[in-house]
Structure 1
Amino acid sequence: MCALTAAQRGRRVLVLEKANKVGKKILMSGGGRCNFTNHFVEADNFISNNPHFCKAALTRYTQWDFIGMVERYGIPYEERRHSQLFCLNSAKDILNMLLDECAKAGAEIRTHAELVSIAEDQQSEGSSRYQLVVNQQDSHLELRCHSFVVASGALSIPTLGGSGIGYDIARQFGLTLTKRHAGLVPFMFSDSMKQLCEKLAGLALEVELSANNISFTENILFTHRGISGPAALQVSNYWNPGNSVTVNLLPSIDAADWLLSAKKGQAKSLLRTVLSHKLSKSLVAELQWLWWHEQADKPMSEFSDKQLINIGEKINSWVLKPSGTEGYRTAEVTRGGVDTAGISSKTMEAKHQAGLYFIGEVVDVTGWLGGFNFQWAWSSGYSAGLVV
């Protein structure tokens, strides 16, 4: 996005891609359908030490601007839950659109190009500010440029090229970094909860999941390691090691009141039978073992109101303590990054290092699940592309 925007202004642009092909994260996103943006994009959908930083770029290049380009290319797309937009056919459509725009504007892209070093150009000729050393397969290249843009992504999913090189460059030129964590990542458990998750692996259900007073009502998915699914990924952005998460298994129901009513209307029924009308039998069987295994074969009438209230409260507020997350290996994003205090929100240029720019995930701006991280990439890339 930055390259095509700059090239359209007549700038001479070279993209250095370490991988063997560009856009790997685009191709894998959304199950291969690329959740490329969202119909509703607000600053509240992003996490940063400076929650206002993202506003300028998001206003300069909106979701509607990107949707407009998608529609000009005739790419079929669909709106899914929570206003998320996905390609109907393939993520390749989005990548090919961007590559086509780069080609038409004259931006050059080189793959297998690994940055070895960057330094201020001491023998500056004309407008050259930076001198680069790049390995491109068997070639050792020395390049000079007026503007250098770091669009390296971050630590998430290293198999797709994620690395910390952007942070190294930031440190080299005196920019500070905020604390970084894996974000949009599944939770893992090491206690008895791990065994429960293993038994329920593959089960998905809608819950309200919360951590640190932030809640999301979406599906969770039990896995052999712990809990994944949209709600878990969203909450992971707000969770810190040592924190608990709270699961409301019946987010639209006051479970205690419902169970007390069921006691009157279904007095001879077993509690597991009543709960199986709302929750899967396999999950109810595990909850029974956790919370009322000694009364497993008693009818509802033999439960005291206090017992049912207690079980209902646990259903609405099941507190779990993850041992950690799956880490950067499976994280969709890296939370934190280059401190926005050192970057212009309008141009993405380092405030005290002329010609050095940071865009996308390497910056301390992390979006929710739902197309927001791609929109930040498009918006920040466009903002830098206007001025490099």
Structure 2
Amino acid sequence: MGLWFISRCAFTAAAAAAALRVSSGARFARGAQLVRARDYSDVTDRGHEPVCYELTHRALLRLEGADTSAFLQGIVTNDVTLLNERAALYAHLLNVQGRTLYDVILYRLGASPGTEPDGVLLECDAAVRDRVLKHLKTYRVRRQVSVRCCPELRLWAALPPGPEPPRRPGPPDRVLVWEADPRTALMGWRLVLRDDRDPRDLLGSRIGDPEDYHRHRYRIGLPEGVRDLPPGVALPLESNLVALDGISFSKGCYIGQELTARTHHTGVVRKRLLPLRLSSAGTPPPPPPDGAALETEAGKPAGKHRAGVGELGLGLVRVAHAAETLVLRTGGGGGEGEATTVRAAVPPWWPQDQDL
């Protein structure tokens, strides 16, 4: 069995820079303005130490072997050679049609910066861990790479205590990984420990409620896992992979590369995954089903609600309607059913000098 790639795969740095044009749909009608979401959730605005959250909804796989970097380079969106300098890297695994299958974070193990890592930890959604493992083994094809699950390890997120620019604490002892989240500084740090270690002993921090972690994510518009990024449905550029530093347009071929590069090169992205806030008259908004349709007040299709917690969520929104008040209906369509008002916002990590 062999792997086949589309030959049109190399882009120069100049071409990649020219591709950073943004969608003309960001010119909103009637002078409406799309506001920027709050940087931090209320739960991180207290205390002086990071709050640690155990990420049981995420799983870790370990890849080792002489061909590990070359193998990953052909199946993830980002440039894996950057792990020679960086300690963590965000990326997506795509299908051959260029749609997202799984979001992952890669962590360099061992070795000094500037050298090949001794191995790589791959973080993925725990609900699809076995599918990710099967995907990796499918494309391994005679390469010298071993892949295994790591039930002996625990993954934690340490969120900064307030809205000031986060400062990295000193590295605690006896940890496998202690690195800044590669997606945005607003997500703090990632910590990997053996299952007999307690982060409170290492950081002097308190343990937070995992729901608060997800509320923080949704408030700042940060997707994570298959609810936010449905496999085979989500497109990487609509999911803001460029702004989250999760893709390279100069690395060469990888699975799903051609459609993604062509879309980026045209500069037209008509829909974006944005943070949403739901409200309804007098009562807390009912939880909408994942994938519920969003409409404008005039009844025009405006996108889909992806997932959320309480009044916070993520939605794939048509950029042309993003600044408008939107409506989500449950129990019926065509103006029927219970209506919930929805407002979209610009993620706080979105580059200040770019439109959507």
The bucket for the TM-score relative to the shorter chain is: under 0.3
Rg larger in 1 or in 2?
1
Whichever structure has more helix as a proportion of its residues is 1
| TM-score, normalised with respect to structure 2 | 0.27
| TM-score, normalised with respect to structure 1 | 0.25
Whichever structure has more strand as a proportion of its residues is 2
